[in-house]
Amino acid sequence: MTTLYIIAGLVFILLSGIRIAQEYQRAIVFRLGRFQSVKGPGIYWLIPFLERQQRVDIRTNTVTLEQQETITKDSVTIKVNAVLWFKITSPEDAIIKVADYNKAVYQFSVTALRNIIGQHSLDEVLREREQINGTLQKIVDAATTPWGIKIEMVEMKDVEIPEAMQRAMAREAEAIREKRARIVKAEAELEASIKLTQGAKVMEGSPIALELRRMQMLSEIGIDNNTTTMILIPSDFTNAAKSFTELVEKKKLEN
């Protein structure tokens, strides 16, 4: 009977060492305090009382960087928040080389975000987000690689600008739009004047074209139901009157 109890106890102890890790988990095994191996996924066995484990999740983790108030290169105070994605590539390094990898990644990312914003002006922060995101990713990844962590992506979410700065930017944008509108209008007037000059030169050499234009103007005025009465004087009469005036002036000068 005693032997049976001993065998049952040994079986229980052996079975107590069986562990199962999910596909996305890895177990870092320590034997008497020293790193032994990485187990998983699936079933594995630990030596009871001699070995212990610490599991890590190797899936991609999402970290929200809380809103940070920082000053840009051109001395504008803004508030920025971001999102960071990372995954563990070396489970043993993530456990052995850093006490709390989640906290370490978060704190370093927040510090790097504040520093990189301080190296750019407000216009650059607003226009070059993709470039800043890429630079921030490289900086954080270089620091976390020794910890067995890969930074997959960093994205700035919102950039909060002071109200006074928002009003100033709105006025600047309005002035730019007004400037563009005036330039377009001036270019249109220039093009119209060129066309009118060309048309006038053509009509000057063709009296028939001038008469047709006068008749067209009369018909356009009539379409508007205008009560104004206009008398169309042929260009021949105008030219004759002009010639007569010049002849009279010449006679006066001779006398």
Does residue 207 sit in the same domain as residue 152?
no
- The last residue of one of the domains, among 30, 57, 84, is 57
- pLDDT of res. 58: 94
Does residue 151 sit in the same domain as residue 209?
no
Does residue 74 sit in the same domain as residue 46?
no
Residue 233 domain-assigned? no
Residue 104 domain-assigned? yes
Residue 136 domain-assigned? yes
Does residue 158 sit in the same domain as residue 209?
no
- pLDDT of res. 194: 83
- pLDDT of res. 172: 74
Residue 234 domain-assigned? no
- pLDDT of res. 45: 92
- pLDDT of res. 74: 85
Q: How many domains does the chain have?
A: 3
Residue 252 domain-assigned? no
User: What domain range includes position 36?
Assistant: 2-57
- pLDDT of res. 16: 84
**With contact defined as beta carbons under 8 Å apart, do 152 and 63 qualify?**
no
Residue 97 domain-assigned? yes
Does residue 24 sit in the same domain as residue 100?
no
Does residue 52 sit in the same domain as residue 85?
no
CA distance 215 to 237: 16
Which two structure tokens, joined as six digits, stand for 108? Answer: 């370093």
Does residue 67 sit in the same domain as residue 160?
yes
Model pLDDT for residues 169-215, shown as the tens digit of each residue: 677 777 787 888 888 888 888 887 887 777 767 666 666 666 666 66
Does residue 42 sit in the same domain as residue 8?
yes
Does residue 74 sit in the same domain as residue 39?
no
What global pTM score does this model have? 0.65
- The last residue of one of the domains, among 29, 57, 85, is 57
Q: Which CATH number fits the domain that encloses residue 140?
A: 3.30.479.30
How many other C-beta atoms lie within 10 A of the C-beta of residue 132?
21
Report the candidate in 143, 147, 174, 157 with the shortest Cα–Cα distance to residue 63: 157
Query: What parts of the chain have a pLDDT lower than 50?
Result: none
